[in-house]
Amino acid sequence: MLAEFSGGMAVFATAKFSGAAVGFVFAQFSGGKIDFGAEFSGSPVDFSGARFSGGEVEFSFARFSGGAVDFSADDFSRGKVIFDNADFTGAIVDFSAADFSGGAVDFSGIYVLSIPPTFPWTDTPAAGVKLPDTSGA
């Protein structure tokens, strides 16, 4: 069964996922507001193939420590996805083959990103994507 979030609000802000895989594979986010400000530690987190086609999904204050975080082959075609104050300490983050063809995806407020993520571009990010300032200024 696939998870579908199409309206209202879902909050995972105080959830702690530790020691077991977490999967939102092919989840549909098409409306409302979702707050994934949870703690994910020591296990893989799989959002591969998810579709963000409306509403707002926040990973603000989320903590990903260790393990792999998979957003590969996701569709960011509409809506807004925010990673404000997210902490990716020791996590391998994969956005390869993701489609950033519409919506807004904001990485500019990431708190910790110890391993650079894999994106489907080499130099210039897709329109609507805000990357963190790594200039050190």
Report whether pLDDT(134) > 80. Answer: no
pLDDT tens figures, 100-115 = 988 899 999 999 988 9
pLDDT tens figures, 15-70 = 999 988 999 999 999 999 999 999 999 889 999 999 999 999 999 999 999 889 99
Structural domain boundaries in the chain: 4-120
- Listing DSSP states for the chain in one string gives ---EEEEEEEE-TT-EEESS-EE-TT-EEEEEEEE---EEESS-EE-TT-EEEEEEEE-TT-EEESSEEE-TT-EEEEEEEE-TT-EEET-EEE-TT-B-SSSEEE-TT-SEESSPPB-S-SSSPPTTEE----S--
pLDDT tens figures, 80-99 = 999 999 999 999 999 999 99
